[in-house]
Amino acid sequence: MLPLAQAELVQLFRNRSVLVTSLLMPVAVAVFFISYRDVFTRIGSIGYVAAVLVFTIAAFNLYATTVTTLAARRQGLFLKRLRSTAASDATILTGLVLPVGAIALVQIALILGVFAAASGGGPVDAVLLVAATLAAFAMMLALGIATAGVTNSPEHAQVTALPLSIGVIAVASWVGITGTESMALLKRLLPGGAATELIVAAWDGGAALTGSLPLLAPTLAWVLVAVAVAAKMFRWEPRR
């Protein structure tokens, strides 16, 4: 798995379009939100800005890059060749998405660190923030593999990945600005809704860790849904 992950990391840095999508675009968006954090804080809160930063990285780096990468490897028959080896399906997929996941984690750690310094303080509950971020990343990674199952080519990935990328950021903004005092069930069941609530609570305070952890359930349920869809729809040979 690790040799495959190392080879995939090299390929990622050689692909300029993926590099722009997965590294430069999320950083540019993060710089914008951090620069105008006072404006966005008046709209929502510091925690709301943190949630948008998390889902910007999760959508444009982790999710979109996973879809593009797997579609490209399928189109180039790389997936088919790998499947003829002794490596299991899980090992192959893990090796291919591991570099993307690692880059996303490093990116969000650095960006949230800069955001905390610029804001004059970090999250009230760092453990809850880490748990919510990891759950959100697991959800977007699983959804990326599922979306790759219905994506014909890297070019097609720009179409198939866009709705969910924009959608989760929209949900994060909706929940971060309006809270969950109204339509709580709907907001928490939407992809990213419960994770946004946790991130806001972790950064702004006002929620106990033990009382907030059940909110991980909707996000983890989306992981299970995505895995089920991927198991049914994912193809190892080029789609026609």
Domain assignment present for 239? no
Under 8 Å between Cβ of 240 and 156: no
Is a pLDDT exceeding 60 seen at residue 208? no
Nearest to 24 by CA among 75, 51, 70, 64: 64
Spatial separation of the C-alpha atoms in residues 239 and 10, rounded to whole Å: 26
How far, in Å, CA of 191 to CA of 139, rounded? Answer: 8
Give a yes or no: residue 142 inside a domain.
yes
Residue 200 in any domain: the answer is: yes
Tell me, yes or no, whether 100 lies in a domain.
yes
Q: Is residue 146 a part of any domain in this protein?
A: yes
pLDDT tens per residue, range 65-122: 899 889 988 888 888 888 888 888 888 898 889 988 998 998 899 899 988 888 878 8
Domain total in the chain: 1
pLDDT in tens, 157-194: 889 999 999 999 999 999 999 988 889 999 999 999 99
- Residue 19 banded pLDDT, cuts 50, 70, 90: low
The C-alpha atoms of residue 49 and residue 43 are separated, in whole angstroms, by 10
The whole model's pTM is what?
A: 0.90
Q: How far apart are CA 65 and CA 188, in angstroms?
A: 26
Query: What's the pLDDT at 213?
Result: 78
| Domain range for 43 | 2-233
The DSSP code for 180 is S
